[in-house]
Structure 1
Amino acid sequence: MRTFCPEEYPISLYVNGEELATYQLTNNDLIDWTYGHLFTEGIIDQAEDVVEISLLEGKIYVQLGGDVEVTPMLKRKKYITAGCGNGVTFFSMTDVKKLPKIQKSNRQMPLTYLLKKRHEFAKASPMYNATGGMHGACIVEENGEITVREDIGRHNAVDKIIGAALQRKLDPKTLILLTTGRISYEMLAKTARFGFEIVGSRTAATKQAVQLAKFLGIEVVGYIRGKVAVVYTNNGNVINDLKAISKV
């Protein structure tokens, strides 16, 4: 029986002196989240755009390089995301369609491999295992090594793992992204912005996310549980080596 409750805190993000927003976050790996969120929202293009990050009493202060402007971003229309505390994104579905399409590679991953890594991911999620109420995101590297980040919100967890990968200068073409959360259009936008070719979840993808994934060339796999999964796209990057599989 789990006796610990998941934690969340209101944390305000300031960029070059401008308040971007206040977010409900789990108070861990906040540096990773900051890099990831700024990148997935199009405010920075690389980790080197960040000059300094300071954490102080529920506030994150970021100083960006001189060539990076925040004010135009703040003037853009904000979109309330689905679920997870009604997060905010500056990317509309039209904006996402303008992101570069994924250049198709010859990489092919068996579904059995994704299921194996999803199992490893679950075992390597201490906050979920303690509370039963956390989301997680995981990158799988070419050598099979996994890195996990957790948060109360699925968007935040993905931002954290992207921030970690960004700081390590990992090549997105060599990575697989796994998440515990539903893949909605804004989650797919984060995937596309970083350049992941394959993304999988233990739950569903929305119709809009699948449409965008097909347009951008991203392979999406859902319901990765036990010995089954659902392949939503047909880009050829995932091999169906399971008998009990639904292909949509």
Structure 2
Amino acid sequence: MEEEQYLLRPDSEDARLYEMIRGIDQDGRETEAAIINERPLTIFLNAREIVTAMTIGDYPEYLAVGYLLNQNMLHADDEITGVDYDPEIETVVVRTARQTDYEDKLKKRIQTSGCAMGTVFGDVMEKFETVRLDPAVKLRTSWIYALSRKINTTPSLYLKTGAIHGCVLCEEDRPLIYMEDVGRHNAIDKIAGYMRLHGLGAEGKSFYTTGRLTSEMVIKTVQMGIPILISRSGFTAWGVELARKAGLTLIGRAKGKRFLVLSGEDRLVFDADPAGQAEEPAHLSRKGSRGDDAE
């Protein structure tokens, strides 16, 4: 099965992440629907409270570490001495050998366009402007079609509940790590945390997301050193501007036979005939852009 290629993928049968709620349908008949849960998670760095995020609650340790990395609060040379999660008070404490102090950084928060109140800090662009993405990396168009097919047929919480986003770390035509959450920024942070804690590098990797290609998604992808970002959904103008500035390959509206490249087109190798590709499965076409109901 395709999903066996994953190092980690959604557990659509995890009953902690959703609940069955009764209602009525358009014909007035009683029905029952699977509805995603969301809960607060408070993240500490050593003794300092950093943020409370709304999340579905799976992989809180990865989310905490990835969030701190993508906010430039954890650095590449920081030694993580512990990651402690307390489910009773919904808190994760990330401990480092180096003591940290972020009063000034915490004053410069910017709310982003992401779901569930994404937040970045005012100096997040400092690292973004120093990253150099590998211009020699190539992306075959056959890989785009293969990734879309594999990811969109993987059992997921989205297919069970809707109202959720997914991000997938990929290598060539292979999806490796698939994370979901109420906000695309949480999903990408979980992947960043997994990569850091498992020593998985960004070389030769790409990202696939179900959500919009916003400035925040571009910034996080670039900061993680990943040169390619693909989405089923559309773009924001600032997201495109930042992608072009960083040399990020930015591909949106990737559905069925079609996709649109607005940055980094030099990395593409056109080795597949779009006419020979299958149309999008009906269960996704009915919902529109996968994840749109969560935007």
- Whether TM exceeds 0.5 here: the answer is yes
> Based on CA coordinates, which of the two structures has the bigger radius of gyration?
2
Structure 2: gaps (5+ residues): 1-30, 276-295
The partner residue of 1:4 within 34, 38, 42 is 34
The 8 Å contact of residues 33 and 160 in structure 1, kept in 2 or not, is answered as: yes
| Residue 123 of structure 2 corresponds to residue 89 of structure 1 | no
The 8 Å contact of residues 79 and 92 in structure 1, kept in 2 or not, is answered as: no
Question: Offset at 1:146?
Answer: 2.2
For residues 191 and 53 of structure 1, do their structure 2 counterparts lie closer, same or farther at Cα, with a shift above 3 Å needed? same
Partner of 1:183: 213
Q: Deviations over 1:169-227 (max 9, x none)?
A: 22212111111111111111100111001111110121111111111111010011111
Partner of 1:63: 95
| Residue 74 of structure 2 corresponds to residue 44 of structure 1 | yes
TM-score (norm 1): 0.88
TM-score (norm 2): 0.75
Question: Offset at 1:93?
Answer: 7.5
Q: How does 1:66-145 map to 2 (within 5 A)?
A: 66=98, 68-72=99-103, 74-91=105-122, 94-95=125-126, 97-105=128-136, 107-142=137-172, 144-145=174-175
CA RMSD of aligned residues (A): 2.3
For residues 186 and 155 of structure 1, do their structure 2 counterparts lie closer, same or farther at Cα, with a shift above 3 Å needed? same
Aligned sequence identity (%): 23
Q: How does 1:152-167 map to 2 (within 5 A)?
A: 152-167=182-197
For residues 141 and 243 of structure 1, do their structure 2 counterparts lie closer, same or farther at Cα, with a shift above 3 Å needed? closer
Whichever residue aligns with residue 209 of structure 1, its letter is G
Question: Offset at 1:92?
Answer: 5.6
The 8 Å contact of residues 91 and 186 in structure 1, kept in 2 or not, is answered as: no
The 8 Å contact of residues 72 and 124 in structure 2, kept in 1 or not, is answered as: no
For residues 130 and 175 of structure 1, do their structure 2 counterparts lie closer, same or farther at Cα, with a shift above 3 Å needed? same
Partner of 1:212: 242
Whichever residue aligns with residue 78 of structure 1, its letter is R
Partner of 2:202: 172
Structure 1: gaps (5+ residues): none
For residues 162 and 125 of structure 1, do their structure 2 counterparts lie closer, same or farther at Cα, with a shift above 3 Å needed? farther
